[in-house]
Amino acid sequence: MSARDRIRETNPAFYERYSMLEDTDEFWEFIIRPLRQSIRVNTLKAPLEVVVERLREEFELQPIPWVREGFFINVDNLAKVPEHSLGLIFGQEASSMIPPVVLDPKPGELVLDMAAAPGSKTGQMAQYMKNEGCIIANDPKLSRANVLIANLNRMGVLNTRVTTKDGAYFGRFENTFDRILLDAPCSSVGMIRKKWKFLESWRLRGVIKYMNIQKMLILAAYRALKPGGTLVYSTCTIDPLENEEVVDYLLRKTAARLEPIDLPVKTSEPVLEWEGRTYSEELKKALRIHPNDNDTEAFFIAKIVKPEGGA
């Protein structure tokens, strides 16, 4: 049975909706093809070259083009790799390394990671900040926050405080953070490659529920951002309601602007019209990544700036 037929049989509504986005055999095949294992080398604990040299004695490493510390690795179970338990490397999906690269936090800055668990992106940001400055890493669920803390400890992250607030809470800290990452909770279409259940459980009402949460979170994040600051909005889904719709909502409500993202990554065209809605041309600057573009999870990334003196 073809990938297309398996998906159509498992969830007809899913198939019908996303065939309007892209309807190639390749697209359907990559939506369910198992993911390649990828890792990020943690330079908080050891120099990149030292770790890479050691790993190459045992494994094949293929550099991920858009992140210097990222590699595809030919291993089935990372738990068997000593460097993993030591926190020298961290299992992280290749496209999920893009948002911290785009955010580009600097040592000494005050950064908010609004939906941080399990912490792979938080650790990546701490790495770019050389453990200097401060990251507020938030996750409203205590169980997820505990996983976040454990991962940050293993990675040797020292500049991060973990909070368990609803993300919208941070809207009260107006004009406070230099940079904010909102890797928003979403319908996780991109993660079907990891877990089939995301396909089985997908419902349009779930997409709409997430869209409403995302709109609330992005407004709170923008409010908390300093003028001149950068907000990166990302999801691991392909639905325009959770991606272009949410960013367009922010653009209409505020003085926010999008900046182009220049990375060696293949992308699909951002959606400027969907279900009778028309979105801002600014959204051409966002990255829409389908699984078949780079053989990764699906991802959406927008780089948003708050103008100096802008509301």
At 310 the pLDDT is 62
At 281 the pLDDT is 97
- Active-site annotation holder among 191, 236, 287, 302: 236
Classify each residue of 24-54 as buried b or exposed e, where b means 16 or more C-beta atoms within 10 Å of its C-beta: eeebbbbbbeebebbbbbbbbbbeeeebbee
At 76 the pLDDT is 86
At 103 the pLDDT is 98
The reply to whether 236 belongs to the active site is: yes
How many CA atoms, within 13 angstroms, populate the side-chain half-sphere of residue 11?
19
CB within 8 Å of 240: residues ≥ 6 apart: 21, 271, 274, 275, 279
- Give the residue from 78, 105, 59, 22 showing the smallest Cα distance to 293: 22
List the pLDDT tens digit at each of the 311 positions of the chain: 899 999 999 999 999 999 999 999 999 999 999 999 999 999 999 999 999 999 999 999 999 999 999 999 999 899 989 999 999 999 999 999 999 999 999 999 999 999 999 999 999 999 999 999 999 999 999 999 999 999 999 999 999 999 999 999 999 999 999 999 999 999 999 889 989 999 999 999 999 999 999 999 999 999 999 999 999 999 999 999 999 999 999 999 999 999 999 999 999 999 999 999 999 999 999 999 999 999 999 999 999 999 987 66
